[in-house]
Amino acid sequence: MTRTVLHCKIHMASVTAAKHDYVGSITIDAELLDAVGLRVNDVVTVANCANGARFETYVFRGEPGSRVIELNGASAHLVSEGDRVIILHFAQMNDEEYASHRPRVALVNADNTIDRLLRYEPDVGHEPVRFPG
């Protein structure tokens, strides 16, 4: 069995542009992509912390050092420039893969520079909850 689990995350990035008349995607500074392990065409979930919108799109690579977080096409209607967003990428993993996976997380400043890089630890080795009956 495989489960969908967090692969990586860019936390609290600032939207730099919302282009409605553009083929859909999210353009992300290449330095952020490389820091967390995202690739061009990866599907991501974007959560807008300003209005609660949550949507999927796919990744375009932005210029390194540009600090760009640009929503394009239909998803651009769900954000405004300056909104803070969380960009999540999920992967399918079996229990063995999950046990050794530590998602990469970039905590970013308001200018989309990296404040801190983290790794989340998997929750393995505990006893499962047993229900009576």
132 found inside a domain: no
**pLDDT tens-digit readout, 102-124:** 999 999 999 999 999 999 998 87
pTM of the model: 0.92
DSSP element (H, E) containing 116: strand 114-119
d(CA 100, CA 26): 29
What are the tens digits of pLDDT across the range 5-53? 999 999 999 999 999 998 879 999 999 999 999 999 999 999 999 999 9
Active-site amino acid positions: 25, 58
129 domain residue, yes or no: no
Structural domain count, the chain: 1
Tell me whether residue 43 is in a domain. yes
Of 64, 29, 58, give the one whose Cα is nearest residue 45: 58
Range of the domain at 90: 3-119
CATH number, domain containing residue 33? 2.40.40.20
